[in-house]
Amino acid sequence: MKRIGSLSKAALGLLAGLVAGLGLGAPALADNDVGCGVGTMIMEGKQGLLPHLAASCTNGMTFQSISITFGFLGCDATGKVTADAELRKFAAANIDRIARDVARGEGEALEVVAHLLQVRETTRPAFYAYTQAHFETLFPDEGTTSNEMLDSLYRLLGSEPAAS
């Protein structure tokens, strides 16, 4: 195995992968986009995976947190941080369990959905009953995706604030 300095090429590759996966790739997991900063400004208007990754990595390497703190480079610290990405990830992995729990009006998966939506403990029984009453809207057919279900749920909750 060829060595570069005191590290082998394999070790350097592993290290680079860890840095990219844990450090620079983390901003790509933000809610629905790459966030604000230099990278977003440079890649504005471009579509596809590569521009999104480039913007995300550039934002991460160019002090995005400072931009958010001081409100420059398109960043605004007054916006609301949401758990939508985490909810969508959970729903995608547990759509069958959520459907079962909504049909029953109770269950662990539905409890997690309520928690991620930040439904108060005191109003959760009403939330569970509300979702159960609207099962057909949330799951109109067996092919309903998790994103379709969540979009329907958001619409329902927007029209019925007492349920959230």
Confidence grade of residue 163 (pLDDT, cut at 50, 70, 90) = very low
Backbone phi, psi, residue 7, to 5°: -115, 140
Asked if residue 57 lies in contact with residue 39, where contact means CB atoms within 8 angstroms, the answer is yes
- What are the pLDDT digits (tens) for 44-69? 777 777 877 777 777 677 666 666 66
Q: How confident is the model at residue 76, as a pLDDT?
A: 61
**pLDDT bracket for residue 161 (50, 70, 90):** very low
The pLDDT confidence band at residue 111, using thresholds 50, 70 and 90, is very high
The b-or-e profile of 129-143 (16+ CB within 10 A means b, else e) is: ebbbebeeebbeeee
Confidence class for position 97, pLDDT limits 50, 70, 90: very high
Task: Specify the pTM.
Answer: 0.51
* pLDDT tens digits along 14-51: 545 544 443 433 333 333 456 677 777 777 777 777 87
Instruction: Decide: helix, strand or coil at residue 3.
Output: strand
Q: Give yes or no for a contact between 126 and 163, defined as CB atoms under 8 angstroms apart.
A: yes
CB atoms closer than 10 angstroms to residue 115 = 14
pLDDT given for residue 28 in this prediction: 36
Query: What are the backbone angles phi and psi of residue 3, rounded to the nearest 5°?
Result: -105, 140
Phi then psi for 11, rounded to 5 degrees?
Answer: -65, -40
Residue 164 has what pLDDT? Answer: 41
d(CA 39, CA 61): 9
